[in-house]
Amino acid sequence: MRLTYTSDLWWKNAVVYCLDVETFKDGDGDGVGDFRGLTQRIDYLAGLGVTCLWLMPFFPTPNKDDGYDITDFYRVNPRLGTLGDFVEFMRTAHDRGLRVIADLVVNHTSDQHPWFKESRSGRDSPLRDWYVWSDTPEPDDPEQIVFPDKEDSVWEYDEGSGQYYLHTFYRHQPDLNIANPAVRDEIMRVLGFWMELGLSGFRVDAVPYLIENVDPELANPHDFLADLRAFMNRRQGGSILLGEVNLPYADLMSYFGEGLGDQVTVCFDFVGMQQAWLSMARGDARPLAAALRERPKPPKDCQWAMFLRNHDELTLDKLTEEERQEIFAAFGPDKEMQIFGRGLRRRLPGMLGGDLRRVKLAYSLLFSLPGTPVIFYGEEIGMGEDLAQEGRMAVRTPMQWAPDGGFGSAEPERATPEGPFAPERVNVAAQRRDAGSLLRWFQLLIERYRECPELAWGQCTVLDSPEHAVLAHRCDGGGATMVMAHNLGDTACDMDLTLPGLEGSLLTDLLADGTLEISREGVARVALGPHGCRWLRASPPGMSPENASANFA
């Protein structure tokens, strides 16, 4: 397998970095992040090693849901800049070799969007069926209510027109009706507009709700996703859809497009993420190992997206109540740390008590797992949450560039955390000068990950580990092999790993100096410290580890 081939399918071993323009960097001194500020930090992102930026919504909005309530899909929020600023940002990102994708939030609009204002003007409105209306709404299923702290129904009565409209999320976010061909055509135009300005794809918000909550029900809801993908491929062959599909594996596979892979290009692995947290809570790798063994292989040219934390709550909805309580007890015992009864509103470093060994282990695990790693801004320096903020906003605080915050010349509109994760203790400037910092660890992990394409492209095999605390797996592809071992426990251990096909080979540690020999019987003795990790490149005797992956060159 050649790197020229892997680069065509860039998303299979990309490093995706999610950020909110509003909280990343203020370029004009008004206390709000903007595209000018983001452009000033492109070299930082390129130096970190990320290959794709995912932008959270940057469109005009009443801002009742942090920008996910949109009033115009064709403009930039004036608080964040102009279309000209956006184009300059895109040009600079492309110049540094970075691709950019953006949130595609077309499950709903703001109730202040001109489409909805026209739709609710009367039952005979030409845009009436752009949304989902009903005289007698269906009975509410408590399981369908996404925000039980704010809503008790997914239907809202409209006094003006005497009907109820559907809102999967907040009542100020009426659902679009993609059963209407005119709505589907408009969504295509939105995609085409931003792709002409340089985007390489979109992260699709709440995909199942997008195609299921429509009227009338579609004969095959997935046809719309296939149409979206086909449209994007016609406009730009290397574009992608990154899907938020929080479903069990068996139900999720249809969103890839079954065996064809012609719908969502990359799907987040919510099941694997939640089992990873259960494993870390227990100090026992077996839940994660079981999930990796059970996870289906995506269709050819598709990929899984791996993550430990995103911009929403840390959802634990695919676990049993007992398992969820284990994680709450370990990482968020206080009620203010929990949200919706199903998740945590904390960042990873706070959940791990600021223990740098455990934090570094967690991210080593993330980058070693088969799939495309996705990280949330500030993870690379170990930013913490601010529980004084409401709901999900606890993890959406301003990026911490310097001891004084460094966000801009004015005080940021949003508060920064206090205490052990305050900017004076956690910031980019200090960690750049510290060879042992989390930032430098991230740079090393990303560099090694990009040097080892078999991690994302190869065949992953979870190895039988004699130590329950250790996840050991190997990735084989293109004639190259990586062996990965992570100790989730707080006790050092030595263990024997059986590695068929590698008899007599050498294992070189890519994260630290050191080599291991594999016996003629195919057994390697691997030592791991408490919360230790090893990335081991296999090579035949007499061959350098760099040349062991030559088939990828």
Going by pLDDT thresholds of 50, 70 and 90, the confidence category of residue 34 is very high
d(C-alpha 509, C-alpha 359), whole Å? 20
In this predicted model, what pLDDT tens digit does every residue of 278-287 receive, in sequence order? 999 999 999 9
Secondary structure (3-state) at 457: helix
Which is nearest to 522 in space by CA: 501, 544, 550, 546?
A: 501
In this predicted model, what pLDDT tens digit does every residue of 397-433 receive, in sequence order? 999 999 999 999 999 999 999 999 999 999 999 999 9
In this predicted model, what pLDDT tens digit does every residue of 87-112 receive, in sequence order? 999 999 999 999 999 999 999 999 99
Residue 288 has pLDDT above 90, yes or no: yes
CB 394 within 8 A of CB 345: yes
In this predicted model, what pLDDT tens digit does every residue of 176-228 receive, in sequence order? 999 999 999 999 999 999 999 999 999 999 999 999 888 898 888 999 999 99
Q: What's the pLDDT score for residue 551?
A: 55
Residue 277 has pLDDT above 90, yes or no: yes
Q: What mean pLDDT comes out for the span 74-94?
A: 98
The size of the chain, in residues, is 553
Q: What mean pLDDT comes out for the span 104-132?
A: 97
Q: What's the pLDDT score for residue 478?
A: 85
Q: Pairing relation of β-strands 372-376 and 303-306?
A: parallel
Q: Please confirm, yes or no, whether 205 is among the known catalytic residues.
A: yes
In this predicted model, what pLDDT tens digit does every residue of 142-181 receive, in sequence order? 878 899 989 999 999 999 999 999 999 999 999 999 999 9
**Which residue ranges make up each domain of the chain?**
114-166, 458-547
Q: What's the pLDDT score for residue 218?
A: 86
In this predicted model, what pLDDT tens digit does every residue of 337-352 receive, in sequence order? 999 999 999 999 999 9
Q: What's the pLDDT score for residue 553?
A: 46
- From 22, 65, 156, 244, the catalytic residue: 244
Q: What mean pLDDT comes out for the span 244-272?
A: 95
Which is nearest to 378 in space by CA: 423, 314, 324?
A: 423
- From 34, 85, 205, 323, the catalytic residue: 205
Q: What mean pLDDT comes out for the span 500-506?
A: 95
> How does 289-309 read in b/e, with b if 16+ C-beta sit within 10 Å?
bebbeebeebbeebbbbbbbb
DSSP 497: E
- Average pLDDT over the chain reads 95
Q: What's the pLDDT score for residue 109?
A: 98
Structure tokens at 278: 């259960």
Going by pLDDT thresholds of 50, 70 and 90, the confidence category of residue 550 is low
Give the whole-number percent of the chain exceeding pLDDT 90. Answer: 91
Q: How many CB atoms lie within 10 A of CB 438?
A: 20
Helix (H) or strand (E) run with residue 93 in it: helix 83-95
Residue 78 has pLDDT above 70, yes or no: yes
Q: What mean pLDDT comes out for the span 303-320?
A: 97
> How does 183-213 read in b/e, with b if 16+ C-beta sit within 10 Å?
bbebbeebbeebbeebbbbbbbbbbbbbbeb
In this predicted model, what pLDDT tens digit does every residue of 511-536 receive, in sequence order? 999 999 999 999 999 999 999 999 99
Fold of 458-547: Immunoglobulin-like (2.60.40)
Pick the CATH number of 114-166 from 2.30.30.90, 3.30.450.20, 3.40.630.40, 3.90.400.10: 3.90.400.10
Structure tokens at 528: 């791991």
Q: What's the pLDDT score for residue 546?
A: 75
